[in-house]
Amino acid sequence: MPVPTRVVFGHGRITQARAEAERLGMTRPIVIATAQQADACEDLARAIGGLAYPHAVMHTPVDVTETAVAFVRDNGVDGIVSLGGGSSTGLGKAIALRTDLDQLAIPTSYAGSEMTDILGETEGGLKTTRRDPAIRPETVIYDPDLLATLPDAFAATSGLNAIAHAVEALYAADGNPIVTLMAEDGIRALAAALPKGRAGHDEALYGAWLCGAVLGSAAMALHHKLCHVLGGTFNLPHAETHAVVLPHATAYNAAAAPGAMARIARALGADDAAMGLHVLSKSLSAPLSLKEIGMPEDGLERAADIAVASPYPNPRPLERAAIRRLLDDAFHGRPPA
């Protein structure tokens, strides 16, 4: 399996950011973050001689990207450094796609975007994804020290977001034995590490790396499709949406992907994959219902329509009535069925 990204992993590796940026020929990079991580963004920009740009937002809206691209062109920027979760990485990728600049990604959540050639962008209330080699960051620095400020609740949902990448890689039509190995160990590592809180940061980041890598190597299916619809059209928070939907999407595919289910269950130390994921979410106090994360009930019909209109390949064919039931169960926070 190709892993064309250069990866630097370990405590304190953030101190190598300047050297890694220079290795890519950057002399005046833009340093991207969200407003919530503006201070860390300013510090990093100072340390590497870059320009702080703490204006990334979730789901990569195209208008935000266009403003950032104008900033890049007006300021002689020659490289992209993204610091933060998937929102920062997403803006970095969107700029790279439009400018062909290199990227150094420094993730601070478990979203996994840094290891993929996937970009999801939102425009006119719809999130569309595309894959392109130009989207994949050239270099990634994983430093567990950066997780010290990660709020516990977000660590849990972000970790479940990572597990979702591995779950879908295990039943992807284009999977392979190495992807399978990495996916199963990614789930195992995260399921073991997340309940430990801070003591589990190192192992969780290792798991997130594996999960991001398999997302970047295999196709996405129903689970990711549903989350893209719910995030892009209803602006639901990304990681929380993944956490709620994952047990339900897993249950939907259970009978069609028994081999994947056995591996997921084994990685979780559970008897059943979907129930094991549900129990893990509960033990982490992650949200269990779409209702509690802002989904309007009258949007469920529309969500089902969009999900089946342009489906991703999936082990079990998409049946609208069953998808609508899945969304209803997820909305109310029922156990997966």
Residue of 227, 231, 248 lying closest to 333 (CA atoms) = 248
- Per DSSP bridges, beta strands 118-123 and 126-131 are antiparallel
What minimum distance in Å lies between the beta carbon of 83 and ligand NAD? 9
Distance CA 328, CA 222 (A): 16
- Mask of contacts with ligand NAD, 148-177, x by CB under 6 A? -xx---x---x--x----------------
Task: Answer yes or no whether residue 147 interacts with ligand NAD by CB under 6 A.
Answer: yes
Return the number of the residue (58 or 265) whose C-beta is nearest ligand NAD: 58
Q: Which residue type occupies 284?
A: L
Q: Which residues are CB-neighbours of 258 under 8 A, at least 6 positions away?
A: none
User: How many other CB atoms are there within 10 angstroms of residue 213's CB atom?
Assistant: 26
Task: Answer yes or no whether residue 224 interacts with ligand NAD by CB under 6 A.
Answer: no
Judged by CB under 6 A, the residue of 87, 103, 217, 281 near ligand NAD is 87
104 to 73, 78, 179: CA distances (angstroms):
18, 12, 24
Structural tokens at position 270? 């559970």
Judged by CB under 6 A, the residue of 59, 223, 248, 278 near ligand NAD is 59
Judged by CB under 6 A, the residue of 201, 238, 248, 263 near ligand NAD is 238
What minimum distance in Å lies between the beta carbon of 143 and ligand NAD? 10
Task: Answer yes or no whether residue 109 interacts with ligand NAD by CB under 6 A.
Answer: yes
Task: Write phi, then psi, for 115 (nearest 5 degrees).
Answer: -100, 10
Contact positions toward ligand NAD, by CB under 6 A? 34, 36-37, 58-60, 84-88, 90, 108-109, 111-113, 116, 118-120, 146-147, 149-150, 154, 158, 161, 215, 238-239
